Amino acid sequence: MTLSPIELKTKIIDSLKLQDITPAQIDDDAPLFGAGLGLDSIDALELVVMLEKEYGIVVKDIEEGRPAFKSVRTLAEFIVAKRPA
């Protein structure tokens, strides 16, 4: 099972209410935090909530989730690996 980067980018934009960004403007490999998309720790919490609501994935430990939040690509891979069958 795969996850479309466009689908994931759309969910990120919607859940974080990023008004001036389109999915096409987000590079699959650009960092989500810092210099890339510029997300912060509050955004990280919103993403965790989105993962649970949209995909049924619970991130219990921030250290487990930290590598997943590196980029859209790593987040998509994490979702595919952790998504309940």
- Measured CA to CA, the distance from residue 54 to residue 21 in angstroms comes to 21
- Domain count along the chain: 1
Per residue in 1-35, pLDDT (tens digit) is: 678 899 999 999 999 999 899 999 999 999 999 88
Nearest of 52, 41, 46 to residue 17 by alpha carbon: 46
Per residue in 22-71, pLDDT (tens digit) is: 999 999 999 999 888 999 989 999 999 999 999 999 998 878 788 999 99
- Measured CA to CA, the distance from residue 85 to residue 32 in angstroms comes to 27
CATH number of the domain that residue 67 is part of = 1.10.1200.10
3-state secondary structure of 61: coil
75, pLDDT greater than 70:
yes
pLDDT of residue 78: 94
Distance between start and end Cα atoms, the chain:
10
Structural domain boundaries, residue 30: 5-82
Q: For residues 34 and 73, which has the higher predicted lDDT (pLDDT)?
A: 73
- Measured CA to CA, the distance from residue 67 to residue 43 in angstroms comes to 15
Q: Which residue has the tokens 């690996």?
A: 81
pTM over 0.75? The answer is yes
